[in-house]
Amino acid sequence: MELGVTSSIFLAVCISLVVYFFSWKKKLRSRNLPPGPPTLPLLGTVLHVSTTEMPQSLIKLSEKYGPVLTIYIGNVPMVYLVGYECVKEALLDNSDIFSARGNTFFAEAIFKDYGIVLSNGERWQQIRRFSLTTLRNFGMGKKGLAERTQEEAHYLVEEFRKNGENLFDPTDLLRLAVSNVICSIVFGERFDYEDEKFTHLLFLMKEILNTLASAWGILVNLFPTPSYYLPGPHQKIFRNFNKMKDFIMESVDHHKKTIDMNCPRDFIDSFLIKMEEEKSKPKTEFHFENLFGTVMDLFNAGIETTSATLKCALLILLKHPDVARKMQEEIDNVIGQSRSPSMEDRIRMPYTDAVIHEIQRFADIVPLGIPHSASKDTVFQGYNIPKGTTVSPLISSVLKDPKYFKHPDQFDPGHFLDENEQFKNNEAFIPFSIGKRSCVGEGLARMEIFLFLTAILQKLNLKTNKALKDIEITPEPGKNGVIVRSYQLYVELRS
């Protein structure tokens, strides 16, 4: 008797699950969302998308399902845009619809939607406008950004030179140099490369990046709420951000004590002055949470991506010494050895400009892009995109779009050179994304990459103890394409 009841209950549960599954599948089809791999209740499409090589797996799926495809995180859809034409149609031609920022782990759990990158609406407009104006005006009556970068490039070359013919990993030196440019903007000072607080701050950021690049990072982005409470390696993200927040708070307190309201020294001073101006407004966006979020955005966008690009650049030039030599010839002819490279030189250096563009394209530092979302119900390429749906441009698929780059998976400066060896632009070159949500620090990053790289090549020859065939320039495997491989080099002073 008891066995019969148990069997009946089991049968009823099975029938209920089958009915639920088919009604759920019917509901999915009726929504007319973009196509995608088979979906399971609760699990979504997790069985069809790699958590360690996600950009490549999405590109592979697009070959079957088209340039607009849907994956499911549990029962929540996420639409990916693949290829330049699809991304352009969404972010440029329909920018009013797809310029909202999508929900992410960072937005929900870390930044609480503050700052520039992950905020939306009036907050985003006000903070972005203020930040752009402040960055453009920064340095009035003081050192300009270009001069600060030239100065830091000199320090970097000297640190490289100190190692001489001893092998060393350039990662930390590059991060220190790039970080100091941001620090001069945000804090009004540069730090010595041996400064303990400074190096610890960068270590915290490095740990966060490495965790986010792992399978744990993908999982916490896919399941932000549960991951906040579950133990695991991902918890260091929360701990490190709290430590970084303390560091920034300490600097803000020091600024408050020493500020001259009529003469801002840096970004923090400018923000504090704006906070004072708007303190009587109950709904002002100028408060500490937005200050912290914006400073962290400047650090994340201005340190990790730029230093990683430079690290990848040196690795590529070790692999292609002929390219490095040709760049050095152009540097010698245009700049010489008696002065530092300047941004005015770039227009007269078409080969160097082409190589730097190709380095950024090949490096593909932010392959998954940053999620957007639909601001209203819309139809895109024949499919329904409901309001609030996360829509993410797959930047890797644009930078390696075979329609726009002859050898998408190879390093080839010819992608940016015409038949007369003059620089030519390519509309699919969008490492900083496009549209209203493009990177606010694009101009600074371009300047840093050019000035740092030309300063190094002007004074030093890059050397390796490896055979060229053994140098691998693709990203670290199993890290979702965002980690440049570790390597060592040594340098020789150019005569």
**Which pLDDT does position 470 carry in this prediction?**
95
Least confident of 45-49, 56-60, 418-422, 431-435: 45-49
Q: Which residue has the higher pLDDT, 258 or 201?
A: 258
Q: Which residue has the higher pLDDT, 419 or 108?
A: 419
| Number of residues in the chain | 495
pLDDT tens-digit map of 175-199: 999 999 988 888 888 889 888 888 8
Do 124 and 116 form a contact (C-beta atoms < 8 A)? yes
**Which pLDDT does position 4 carry in this prediction?**
53
Checking if the pLDDT of 140 tops 70, the result is: no
User: Whole-angstrom Cα distance, residue 24 to residue 73?
Assistant: 15
Q: Which domains does the chain have, with CATH numbers?
A: 31-493 (1.10.630.10)
Q: What is the dihedral of CA 139, 142, 146, 148, to 10 degrees?
A: -110
Mean pLDDT of 119-143: 79
Q: CB-based burial of residue 394 (10 Å sphere; 0-12 exposed, 13-18 middle, 19+ buried)?
A: buried
* Residue 32's pLDDT band (cuts 50, 70, 90): confident
pLDDT tens-digit map of 412-461: 999 999 999 999 999 999 999 999 999 888 888 999 999 999 999 999 99
